[in-house]
Structures are given as C-alpha cells and as structure tokens.
Amino acid sequence: MRFAQLESGTVRLVDVPEPHAGPGELVVRMAACGVCGTDLEKLKGNYRASSILGHEPVGLVSEVGSGVSGYETGDRVFVHHHVPCGACAVCVRGDPTFCPTYATTNLDPGGFSESFRVSARHVKAGAVLRLAPGISWDEGSLLEPAGCVVTALHRVGFSPGTSVFVYGLGPAGLLYARLARAMGATWVGGAELSPRRRAVAESGGIDAVVDPRDPQGVSSVVENATEGRGVDLAVVATSAPAAIQGALEIVRRAGTVNLFGVPATGSRLDYDLLQLYLRGIRIVPTYATTEPDIREVHAQVAARRLRLADLVSERFPLSDIASAFARARDADSSVKVVVTGPAY
C-alpha cells in the first residue's frame, strides 16, 4: 500500500503494509483528501507540531474492528485527524483544540494514504462522521477546514450583525468569508493577491474584494462600509505578518483580530502596544476544530445552506501527489486542490 510522507522538504510515496483494524478501530479506504495550507507549511519547515501529511480525508469504511458498533463496511465517512483527551484542565475549561495531547493524535499512517487506520480513541470520541447521501467526496474533503472556521467564529464570540474583513482568500479564507455570511454577518470584505482567488471570492457573495498591495484600497473599502468605525472582526487567514499589521489598522475600537492562518516559525509582530491598550483590541488565535463544529458544518452543507464544491479547482490521483502539492503552492492557478484515492 502507498502513502505520502514528508521527507527532506519534499513529499514522496512509500510502500507500507496494509493497515488492519484492532479492537475498537476502523480502517478507511481513502476517496479524497484536500491539500491544506498547513501541509504546504510542513514542506517549508514552518510548521513543526506534526510531520504527518493529510488531515482532510473522506472514504469508505473497509474494515470494522471488534467491539465497534454503528459502522459497517461500505459506509461513506469523514474522519477527523485529531481528538482531545477530554479530561485535562484545558479540555474541562472548554478549549479542547489546545489540549496538550490533541495534536499528538493522528490517523495511521496519514490522510494521504490508500487506506488508513482510525484508532479506538478516535472512534470513541466520535471523530468518524457518516456523510449525508447528498454530500460529494469533494465537499466531504472540505468539512475539516470549514469546521476550523466554525470553531474560530465560536471562539471569537461571533454573532449575527458582525462586519468581517478577511486577509487571505485562499481555500480557508474563502470558507471563512462564506461561513461568516451564512451565520449572519452584515458585511464581508476580503484582500487577496491572486486574481483567480479574488474572482472566486466575488462570485461567492463577498461584498468587496481588494488587492492587499493597495493599502489605501483596503482602508478605503472598510471605511466606506463601516462609516469610518472599522470592522468588528478582522481575520488573518494567511501566514504573512504584514496581514496582521493590516488587520490591526482596520479593526474598530474594542474589536477583534482573529489569527486564523498558521504563522511561519519565528514570525514577529512589531506594533505599538499602547495603541492596542487604548483601542481595546482583542487578538484571538484559533487552532483546528472539534467534532461538534464539524457536525454543524456537515448539517449546513447537507441542507445546502453552504456551498463548498465550487472551491475545488483540481484533483490529482495519489500516484501524482507531487503535482498536487506543486499546483496547491501556485495560488495564481489553483483554489483548492484535492488528492483522490482508490475509493473516489
């Protein structure tokens, strides 16, 4: 069986034995798995929490371990790659994605694999979600990043009537903008370097899309939309430190800046702390997602209140995963790249 692993800054396919389900476990035959910005950062060495690639997989249950109930071979499922312990002080406080063991859990050997084993811990935690009949493999592969957005919106205290501006309209930023709109944002703007992604944003109902290289364009759009107050929520869905500076400038007094994109290792923020103090700005980092939030997104997609499928711009078979990563790195020619497996 083949799976993709990170090796010396590149992604390569290696042969490993087929996984088998032990007690309480499942094996899933991969149908699709999205290439995430986090995967790209791992290749660049900018993300060190884990070296395992592929965390947006969907597929068919191919083996059910002893003691597992509620799943059968042939079930179409989404599988969440991380689960919290549920018992530590962080989990009890209500911040499960920051649980110390959360990021240490994963699929075996990873999402970019012909088949992968789902541990008993994952199964018990409800990390395996049956897909509604109308949800395609492409849509299923976007549930995890969309879940990350829902988790972020809950964490920042989002409520209907909020104005939002998103720096970085890659796949995650586009999902953020669409979900903010679906959850009741009154105005949503965004900044993106790629003309193709700006076009997708405009077709997806975002109110105003600008090129961030024109700083007056961003400030002018926000001032006009908010009558000079600034947005309630400024979202940084990119690793560029300059975007954080921009977000701090356009957020209103007592507003919130959400650090949603993964910053590069060693990134620094140079900002006048007195201004943060006097303006009462909250800076809220958010990371990953939870099973309830993924189920919330799944329900929205199943009810056709949230559009996802049009974000998938290209598909590559697992055998050509190097091309998938190369295309995903090219923001001018791609939006969301999906790797397909034997169950697609």
CA distance 222 to 45: 35
Cβ–Cβ under 8 Å, residues 191 and 169: yes
Q: In whole angstroms, give the CA distance from residue 241 to residue 232.
A: 20
Residues 6+ apart with CB under 8 A from 306: 146, 178, 179, 182, 297, 300
Residue 48 pLDDT: 63
Which amino acid is present at 124? K
The segments of the chain whose pLDDT lies below 50 read: none
- Domains of the chain and CATH, by start: 2-142+308-340 (3.90.180.10), 147-285 (3.40.50.720)
Of 335, 344, 168, which is closest to residue 263 (Cα–Cα)? 168
Q: How far apart are CA 243 and CA 235, in angstroms?
A: 9
Residue 278 CA to residue 281 CA, distance in Å, equals 8
**Residue 60: predicted pLDDT:** 98
Cα 210 to chain centroid distance, Å, stands at: 22
Report whether 214 contacts 195 (CB < 8 A): no
Residue 114 amino acid letter: E
In whole angstroms, give the CA distance from residue 158 to residue 171.
20
Q: Which residues contact 227 (CB under 8 A, 6 or more apart)?
A: none
CA dist 325 and 44 (Å) reads: 12
CB atoms within 10 A of CB 242: 12
C-alpha angle 286/298/257, rounded to 5°? 20
Residue 49 confidence (pLDDT): 63
pLDDT of residue 205: 79
Residue appearing with tokens 């935690």: 125
Tokens coding 110: 């990873």
Q: Which helix (H) or strand (E) holds 235?
A: strand 231-236
